Amino acid sequence: MSSYTELAERRARLVSRFDKARVDALLVSSPVNIRYLSGFTGSSALLVVAARRSVILTDPRYTLRVVQESDCKAKIVPGSPFARLSPIAKQLGIRRLGYEASRLTMASYRTVRENLPRTVRLKPADGMVEDLRLIKCKSEIAAIRQSVELNSKAFTAAMNRLRPGWTERRLASELDGQMLRLGAEKPAFDTIVASGPRTALPHARPSDTPIREGKLILVDMGAQVGGFMSDMTRMASMGDPGRRWRRLHEAVKEAQLAGIDAVREGVTAAHVDRATRRVLKSHKVETYFVHSTGHGLGLEIHEPPRLARKERTLLRAGMVITIEPGIYLEGRGGIRIEDTVLVTKAGCEILTPTPKEMLVL
């Protein structure tokens, strides 16, 4: 959990960007952004951040929790908080209120607009909190580290129990169960388990297909711990997968390591993406790499930056990203290897402790 000092610092950094964004205050409606700035984890709330004060509006269900979790002033309102902004805007003298355009529904926007005096201008101000969230502080890194380590332990425990004939779905539920048993709040996303030719689907849903002898297995899983996510993909095989798949696995591993090698403060996200593609090209399989190299993660499983061909975002120390090249041969199978890494000044630290070798069961 973040300390009140950390929370106050985050809000102060946000306020320091108001001039440039030409707003006096920001209406934060995304629950993760509210949690990041105020500590409050309730599902129905609004946060108004202003230089003078920050106010959380939430409903009576959260009367107790809001004061336990947050140092912001709490205002308990019945019904929709979107309709209750007018007194706060008045108190804080807000004339230009920024809002998270891509996070607000049209209906909520209308409620806000209809209930505010005309003198208050609403200004779209997307990505302001996401920008702050790009660089993780010590306590965030510690939480992500915990999440990553728990996730790897759950993987090992579940794979130790896997038996021939289990369905993909059974393995997925074993992975989820191990995560929860070890103390995760929940899986970070729907756990992906694919076997045989189904590994060629980058986002396969676990099916009732039994995992048979000689088949490849792809597991992509993440845990949520203290609100923070982890993300890992590993390949396994029930018995020897054959020479061809072992070779392709080596190629993807080489690409993944090249990606990791390319990570350091000051390089562009595209630079890292190029590094993985270059290796896959040298193995003549680059055309089978159909997605981007990775993504940031934190309170959400997909956060900026994106590590893709044209992304010019500069990597900075304190960013946490995934490196996950993969190749997918339609109807035959696919290979992906994914780690969560922390960007540092000189390079990066691989947080994922699980060996990258194909796990032959």
Smallest distance, Å, CB 324 to Zn ion? 5
Work out whether 293 is an interface residue with Zn ion (CB under 5 A): no
Nearer to Zn ion, 24 or 174 (CB): 174
Distance CA 55, CA 71 (A): 10
Binding mask 71-90 toward Zn ion (x if CB under 5 A, else -) reads --------------------
Smallest distance, Å, CB 231 to Zn ion? 4
DSSP secondary structure, 84-149, as one string: --HHHHHHTT-SEEEE-GGGS-HHHHHHHHHHS-TTSEEEE-TTHHHHHHTS--HHHHHHHHHHHH
| C-beta separation of 301 from 231 below 8 A | yes
Work out whether 322 is an interface residue with Zn ion (CB under 5 A): yes
Nearer to Zn ion, 90 or 302 (CB): 302
Alpha helices in the chain (DSSP H): 4-15, 18-21, 31-38, 63-69, 86-91, 106-115, 128-133, 138-161, 168-181, 243-262, 269-282
Distance CA 281, CA 22 (A): 46
Work out whether 174 is an interface residue with Zn ion (CB under 5 A): no
Smallest distance, Å, CB 304 to Zn ion? 14
Smallest distance, Å, CB 308 to Zn ion? 13
Nearer to Zn ion, 11 or 234 (CB): 234
Sole window of 143-151, 265-273, 283-291, 317-325 interacting with Zn ion (rule: CB under 5 A): 317-325
| C-beta separation of 199 from 333 below 8 A | yes
Q: Which of residues 327-346 bind Zn ion (CB under 5 A)?
A: 338
Longest dimension (CA), the chain: 71
What is the three-class DSSP state of 235? Answer: strand
Distance CA 57, CA 74 (A): 6
Nearer to Zn ion, 98 or 325 (CB): 325
How many of the chain's residues bind Zn ion (CB under 5 A)?
Answer: 4
Smallest distance, Å, CB 248 to Zn ion? 19
Amino acid at 328: Y
User: Tokens for 234?
Assistant: 């590993």
Binding mask 196-235 toward Zn ion (x if CB under 5 A, else -) reads ------------------------x----------x----
Smallest distance, Å, CB 145 to Zn ion? 17
Work out whether 178 is an interface residue with Zn ion (CB under 5 A): no
Q: Which residues sit at the interface with Zn ion, rule CB under 5 A? A: 220, 231, 322, 338
